[in-house]
């Protein structure tokens, strides 16, 4: 169950000394072919890190042989020197695994505005290349962790092919990608353009539907590599379904490990005039700090849900809104419903269901509560 589950991939994860602790901080994933099709989705933030600039160019031709990822530094807002560092990183990987530098994607995560310790990065690449193996997926998944408490991996078996993935990310989880690095591998035989289409469909319904804290990172990257080693040409709809399964498993793991969170909250909006409306309402609720604090306090404060709905442009009438929390309809027709005391919010997972009574569309956004732990991690992270 990892990025080395599919045939044709080797990986490694090592401690290169990029982090000040002795923890693993550099991962290498290599596609051994016979095909090297690749696809990618990046952050839509207009301020992007050097590795994103590099990797966008590298994947533009639909070919990648390797991905190198480091934790311990985001290489963001580091200007021209930062871009040179990303290029030097790719070059070192290319020499180690015998490919061209522009067939190497580079991903970095950690503090913004600090140069990477390049000596450590370059010696780490050589060490990782020596340890590449078809069993290295788990070590790689550990090496990309920052404030993650557990590694995130996922697997789906198609008819004659395998899709595996790994992810890191525990904060800055926002739409148009969570703050995260994701690598997905498959031994299916699929062209780069088809892989790109499938990846975009899958991420739109998975990573784009989680919103932990409303903050969008400068480094978000999802890469998909296809080796063709299974010899199986997949049905594209089936492939998209399986790919989305891997993406959703990873996305759910990200929400489940979000910084300091004590609840994973599914905000479901039904009865919307359009999917767009449903998403707007769900996102607005998911971003309400007052609502998120209430859930932390195990308080079914549906008034804060209505306050959030009220600032959207979605079609609804205030006196038709229903809100159900963990099965109890606490707000009916915009007013008081069943007793709030009936709602049990003590579990980790909870559900807020809003019916707009304005149509047939629906959507769900997953988010987290706002806790002391979130404040603590993000007040102390870089100090």
The residues that are catalytic are: 179
Looking at the Cβ atoms of 238 and 320, the one nearer to a second copy is: 320
Select the residue interacting with a second copy from 191, 253, 274, 307 (CB under 8 A): 307
Ordered strands of the 322-325 beta sheet: 335-336, 328-332, 322-325, 349-355, 264-272, 361-368
Three-class secondary structure of residue 291 per DSSP = helix
Nearest CA among 302, 308, 298, 141 for reference residue 211: 308
CA 361 to the chain's CA centroid: 25
**Cβ contacts of residue 15 below 8 Å, gap of 6+?**
22, 23, 24, 25, 26, 124, 143
Q: Is 150 in the site for a second copy (CB under 8 A)?
A: no
How far is residue 267's CA from residue 288's CA, in Å, rounded to a whole number?
Answer: 12
Q: Which stretch binds a second copy (CB under 8 A): 120-128, 151-159, 181-189, 372-380?
A: 372-380
* CB burial readout 14-35, b (16+ within 10 A) else e: bbbbbbeeeebbbbbbbbbeeb
Select the residue interacting with a second copy from 10, 69, 74, 145 (CB under 8 A): 74
Looking at the Cβ atoms of 73 and 158, the one nearer to a second copy is: 73
361 CB-contact burial (10 Å; exposed 0-12 / middle 13-18 / buried 19+): middle
Q: Is 370 in the site for a second copy (CB under 8 A)?
A: yes
Q: Is 339 in the site for a second copy (CB under 8 A)?
A: no
How far is residue 243's CA from residue 202's CA, in Å, rounded to a whole number?
Answer: 6
Other beta carbons less than 10 A from residue 375's beta carbon: 12
Q: Is 186 in the site for a second copy (CB under 8 A)?
A: no
Select the residue interacting with a second copy from 73, 82, 164, 169 (CB under 8 A): 82
Q: Which parts are annotated binding residues?
A: 146, 168, 179, 259, 378, 383
**Shortest Å distance, C-beta 345 to a second copy:** 10
Q: Which stretch binds a second copy (CB under 8 A): 6-14, 23-31, 63-71, 108-116?
A: 108-116
**Shortest Å distance, C-beta 305 to a second copy:** 10
Window 316-335: residues binding a second copy (CB under 8 A): 316, 318-319, 321, 331, 333-335
How far is residue 152's CA from residue 146's CA, in Å, rounded to a whole number?
Answer: 12
Q: Is 310 in the site for a second copy (CB under 8 A)?
A: yes
Looking at the Cβ atoms of 233 and 293, the one nearer to a second copy is: 293
Other beta carbons less than 10 A from residue 310's beta carbon: 12
Three-class secondary structure of residue 312 per DSSP = coil
| DSSP per-residue codes, 191-251 | -HHHHHHHHHHHHHTTGGGB-SSS---S--EEEEEE--TT-----HHHHHHHHHHHHHHHH
Q: Is 72 in the site for a second copy (CB under 8 A)?
A: no
**Shortest Å distance, C-beta 52 to a second copy:** 11
Q: Is 250 in the site for a second copy (CB under 8 A)?
A: no
Per-residue tokens: 155: 């697997």
Q: Is 380 in the site for a second copy (CB under 8 A)?
A: yes
Q: What are phi and psi of 110, to 5 degrees?
A: 145, -155
Q: Is 376 in the site for a second copy (CB under 8 A)?
A: yes
Interface with a second copy: number of residues (CB under 8 A): 67
Select the residue interacting with a second copy from 21, 133, 289, 346 (CB under 8 A): 289
Q: Which residues pair with 107 in a beta bridge?
A: 69
Site string for a second copy, 201-240 (x = CB under 8 A): ------------xxxxxx----------------------
Window 7-46: residues binding a second copy (CB under 8 A): 44-46
Q: Which residues bind a second copy (CB under 8 A)?
A: 44-48, 74, 76-79, 82, 111-115, 171-172, 213-218, 287-290, 293-294, 296-299, 301-304, 306-312, 316, 318-319, 321, 331, 333-336, 370-372, 374-383
């Amino acid at each position: 169950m990892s990025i080395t589950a599919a045939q044709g991939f080797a990986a490694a994860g090592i401690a290169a000394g990029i982090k000040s602790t002795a923890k693993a901080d550099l991962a290498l994933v290599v596609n051994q072919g016979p095909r090297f099709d690749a696809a990618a989705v990046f952050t839509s933030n207009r301020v992007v890190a050097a590795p994103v600039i590099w990797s966008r160019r590298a994947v533009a031709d639909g070919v990648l042989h390797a991905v190198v990822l480091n934790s311990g530094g985001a290489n963001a807002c580091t200007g021209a020197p930062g871009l040179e560092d990303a290029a030097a990183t790719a070059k070192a990987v290319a020499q180690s695994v015998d490919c061209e530098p522009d067939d190497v994607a580079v991903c970095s995560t950690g503090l913004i505005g600090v140069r990477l310790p390049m000596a450590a990065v370059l010696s780490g690449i050589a060490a990782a290349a020596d340890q590449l193996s078809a069993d290295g997926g788990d070590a790689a998944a550990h090496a990309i962790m920052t404030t993650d408490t557990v590694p995130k991996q996922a697997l789906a078996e198609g008819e004659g092919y395998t899709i595996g993935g790994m992810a890191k990310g525990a904060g800055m989880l926002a739409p148009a990608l969570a703050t995260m690095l994701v690598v997905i591998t498959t031994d299916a035989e699929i062209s780069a353009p088809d892989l790109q289409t499938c990846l975009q469909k899958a991420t739109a319904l998975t990573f784009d539907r989680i919103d932990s804290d409303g903050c969008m990172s400068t480094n978000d990257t999802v890469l998909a590599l296809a080796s063709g080693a299974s010899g199986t040409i997949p049905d594209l709809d089936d492939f998209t379904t399986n790919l989305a399964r891997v993406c959703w498993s990873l996305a759910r793991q990200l929400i489940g490990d979000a910084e300091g969170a004590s609840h994973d909250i599914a905000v479901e909006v039904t009865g919307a005039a359009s999917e767009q409306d449903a998403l707007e309402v769900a996102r607005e609720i998911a971003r309400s700090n007052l609502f998120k604090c209430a859930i932390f306090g195990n308080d079914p404060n549906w008034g804060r849900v209505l306050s959030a709905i009220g600032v959207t442009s979605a079609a609804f009438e205030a006196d038709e809104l229903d809100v159900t929390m963990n099965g109890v309809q606490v707000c009916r027709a915009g007013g008081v419903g069943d007793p709030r005391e009936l709602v049990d919010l003590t579990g980790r997972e909870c559900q807020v269901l809003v019916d707009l009574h304005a149509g047939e569309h629906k959507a769900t956004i997953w988010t987290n509560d706002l806790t002391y732990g979130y404040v603590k991690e993000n007040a102390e992270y870089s100090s």
